[in-house]
Amino acid sequence: MQIMTIKADPKAKALIFDLDGTLSDSLPVHVATWNKVGEKLGFTFDPKIVYEITGRPTIEFAQRIADDFNLDTDPQEIVRMKQSIFHNSMEFLKPVKEIIEIVKENFGKLPMAVGTGASRKSAELQLKTLGIINFFDAIVTAGDVTRHKPEPETFLKCAQLMKVKPEDCQVFEDGELGLEAARKAGMIVTDVRPFINYGFWE
């Protein structure tokens, strides 16, 4: 399949990037991490869960798993286990090169932010591992908002921190919930999936 090129919209005055699956090809690492949690707690993780609720905080993944498998383990403990394993798996992380090129091309030209459902620690670890943490004017994580994707609060906060009107911001996203959030925010919405060959979901 021919991979098209992806660029910043000429009308955009600021750029906002999702993290997992957009800047960071982290989904295989997340799935491997959940598999390890499953081995410890006695369940088989279904990767479709990642596809369905990517963009939501980890506690919601944990609650979904606890409910689906009738686990006695507290969801907060599941989150702790998952994050501990994930944070120690950064060497397996890969960049989404097509999107990181956009970041580097526009650094110093347009304000840029990251809007993610990941925790602050997870986001900063990933961005440091990818070598791009200093490219962004703002990083909005799960702990910075109360209404997560598909609500627009994450992206609206990015716009506020960059001092740019929502309609002048372009959002790069791979998740259905994030794309919905960007549309609700009234932003320029770019679904990155048609432009990227992840080699994971095929």
Q: 130-149, pLDDT tens digit by residue?
A: 999 999 999 999 999 999 99
**Domains: count for the chain:** 2
Containing structural domain, residue 58: 27-90
CATH number of the domain where residue 146 is located:
3.40.50.1000
Give the alpha-carbon dihedral of 22, 25, 27, 29, to 10 degrees: -150
Same domain, 49 and 78: yes
Same domain, 35 and 76: yes
Same domain, 110 and 187: yes
Last residue of one domain, picked from the residues 60, 90, 120: 90
What is the C-alpha to C-alpha distance for residues 33 and 37, in angstroms, rounded to an integer?
Answer: 6
**Does residue 179 lie within any of the structural domains?**
yes
Same domain, 49 and 137: no
Last residue of one domain, picked from the residues 90, 121, 138: 90
DSSP category for residue 20: B
Same domain, 80 and 145: no
The reported pLDDT for the residue numbered 56 is 87
pLDDT tens profile 36-77: 999 999 999 998 888 788 888 899 999 999 999 999 999 999
What is the C-alpha to C-alpha distance for residues 197 and 202, in angstroms, rounded to an integer?
Answer: 9
Instruction: Supply the residues annotated as catalytic.
Output: 18
Long-range (24+ apart) CB contacts under 8 A made by 75-78 are 78/37, 78/41
What is the C-alpha to C-alpha distance for residues 141 and 167, in angstroms, rounded to an integer?
Answer: 21
pTM: 0.91
What is the C-alpha to C-alpha distance for residues 150 and 52, in angstroms, rounded to an integer?
Answer: 12
Closest CA to 199 of 27, 23, 7, 5: 27
Q: Is 104 helix (H, G, I), strand (E, B) or coil?
A: helix
Same domain, 137 and 120: yes
Same domain, 60 and 145: no
**Does residue 150 lie within any of the structural domains?**
yes
User: pLDDT tier at 118 (50, 70, 90 boundaries)?
Assistant: very high
